[in-house]
Amino acid sequence: MMRRSIIIAALIVSTQACAAQQPVTNDDIAATRAADITRTYGLSKDKTECLLFDTADKGEYFLVRVRENHTEACGGAAGVSPTLFFLKIRKRDGYTVTTAYDSEQYLPLKTPAKN
Cα–Cα distance, 10 to 4 (Å, whole number): 10
User: Tell me: the pLDDT tens digits for 58-90?
Assistant: 999 999 999 999 999 999 888 889 999 999 999
Q: Is residue 114 part of a domain?
A: no
Please name every residue paired with 56 in a beta bridge, in sequence order, or none if there are none: 63
Q: What number is the average pLDDT over the span 28-51?
A: 96
Classified as helix, coil or strand, 77 is coil
Q: What number is the average pLDDT over the span 43-66?
A: 97
- Please tell me the total count of domains within the chain: 1
Q: Is residue 29 part of a domain?
A: yes
What pLDDT shows up at residue 19?
41
Q: Is residue 100 part of a domain?
A: yes
Please name every residue paired with 1 in a beta bridge, in sequence order, or none if there are none: none
Task: Report residue 54: phi and psi, to 5°.
Answer: -90, 125
What pLDDT shows up at residue 66?
98
Return the minimum-mean-pLDDT range out of 24-28, 36-40, 55-59, 73-77.
73-77
Q: Is residue 99 part of a domain?
A: yes
Specify whether the CB–CB gap between 54 and 67 falls below 8 A: yes
Q: Which domain holds residue 103?
A: 23-108
Q: Does residue 12 or residue 112 have the better pLDDT? A: 112
pTM beyond 0.85, yes or no: no
